[in-house]
Amino acid sequence: MSDPIITADNLDLYYGDFQALHGIHLDFEPHQISALIGPSGCGKSTFLRCLNRMNDMIDGVTITGMVKFHDQNIYSPQTNLVDLRKEIGMVFQQPNPFPFSVYDNITYGLRIAGVRDKQKLDEIVERSLKQAAVWDEVKDNLYDNALSFSGGQQQRICIARVLAVSPSVILMDEPTSALDPISSAKIENTLLELKKEYTIIIVTHNLQQASRISDKTAFFMEGRVVEYDDTSKMFVNPDNKQTEDYVSGRFG
């Protein structure tokens, strides 16, 4: 077992007076897909957004505890948010490409980081779109508005946009819940390819999806981690009664 790349340690989160996360402890290992599952409102998306500090933008959020990325606490005042988010990218539930061309979408992260070399940009565009398994569908229309593609293609363009800045971790917040089954399957295959190079943490409502693609699964309930273990164990022989009830569809 290798060293964890991200560790959450005793993480509490409050929306105003309401405590949404209670003392979360979780370790994520590199080059694995970790799934966060649980009923709606259990805090799994909230927790995911803690990992690249996207909750900072919401008014009234207080966070205590630590999230360590390569042994650095990302909530320490020295953390450079810009650098952090280049290392830990995020794909959202709704496909959200910018209303620009595909090319401009993919190069956005690089350009704001100061990359100007056209040849390098071209290379990265091709590489990331290929990694996201959408190159064949968009290569002839790189300069078309990204919004003119289908939802599934848009989501893979968004994945490519994150890959272009070469993060080490990719957070995904229900990336396929707005898509049809065929597009979802394509994205799942993409993720299985990507885990060779990246660490993926995915929030999903789709239990089959979690069991198909993830190596480890964390089950959240009411702001607490009920159980966290290898996916094969979680879905077949979980230790906890609540986990068993949830994965077998008795509630949730």
Residues at the site binding other proteins, with contacts judged by CB under 8 A: 52, 54, 57, 82-86, 89-90, 92, 94, 96-100, 108-109, 111-113, 145, 147-148, 158, 161-162, 165
Nearer to other proteins, 43 or 97 (CB): 97
Nearer to other proteins, 15 or 108 (CB): 108
- Residue 119 burial (CB count, 10 A): 7
Name the minimum Å distance from CB 160 to other proteins: 12
Name the minimum Å distance from CB 91 to other proteins: 9
Buried (b) or exposed (e) across 68-84, using 16+ Cβ within 10 A?
Answer: bbeeeebbeeeeeeeeb
Main-chain phi, psi angles of 132, to 5 degrees:
-85, 5
Position 76: which residue type?
S
List, in order, residues 6 or more apart from 195 with CB less than 8 Å away. 31, 32, 33, 215
Name the minimum Å distance from CB 57 to other proteins: 7
DSSP 8-state secondary structure symbol assigned to residue 231: H
Alpha carbons 174 and 48: distance in angstroms, whole number: 11
Nearer to other proteins, 158 or 234 (CB): 158
Nearer to other proteins, 134 or 207 (CB): 134
Name the minimum Å distance from CB 48 to other proteins: 11
